[in-house]
Amino acid sequence: MIRLEVASTGPGFHHDLTADITAALVDAGAVEGLAGVFARGSTVGLTLMRYEPGAVQDLLRALERAAPHDGVRYMHELTTGDPNGFSHLRSSLLGTGLLVPFRDGALDISPSHRVVLFDFDLKPATRTVLVDARLKGEDR
């Protein structure tokens, strides 16, 4: 299992993980197959997207409409006192795991697409992303 650490600045943070995942898989001796990518936490999200300013802003705006931050008191806050209910919902909507094809030393995805980590929580944190793939010599 490969472990990547990403320093997040908090709400609205996004980071292109594609090069980090690729380098880690190559360093670990991964072979052709599917790489499982999982972001640990209940206030983060992973997606495969065209990573450009307009697309990022469109996604964030859509998530804001689906799970607004301002003006809504979520049951999560009412039952726990934690005001980040919107971030848990956004994480659930986006998801925290992906399967990404890998071959010939690269992720086998469109050149315009990237694996992107989003952080929806209210404060900065170090985020952990786990990557698993078949390594040379492994029989699965």
3-state secondary structure 72-140: CCCHHHHHHCCCCHHHHHHHHHHCCEEEEEEECCEECCCCCEEEEEEECCCCCEEEEEEEECCECCCCC
* Residue 136 in this model has a pLDDT that exceeds 90: no
**Domain presence at residue 18:** yes
* Domain region containing 65: 2-132
* Residue 140 in this model has a pLDDT that exceeds 80: no
The 3-state DSSP class for residue 60 equals helix
**Domain presence at residue 46:** yes
Rounded CA separation 138/140 (Å):
6
* β-bridge pairing 125-132 and 2-8: antiparallel
Per-residue pLDDT band at 139 (split at 50, 70, 90): low
**Domain presence at residue 21:** yes
What are 10-49's pLDDT values in tens digits? 988 999 999 999 999 999 999 888 999 999 999 999 999 9
**Domain presence at residue 138:** no
**Domain presence at residue 42:** yes
Structural domain count of the chain = 1
What are 96-128's pLDDT values in tens digits? 999 999 998 999 999 999 999 999 999 999 999
**Domain presence at residue 140:** no
**Domain presence at residue 137:** no
What are 51-102's pLDDT values in tens digits? 998 999 999 999 999 999 988 899 999 899 999 999 999 999 999 999 999 9
Instruction: Convert 46-58 to b/e letters by CB count within 10 Å (16 or more is b).
Output: bbbbebeeeebee
Q: What is the CATH number of the domain that holds 36?
A: 2.60.120.460
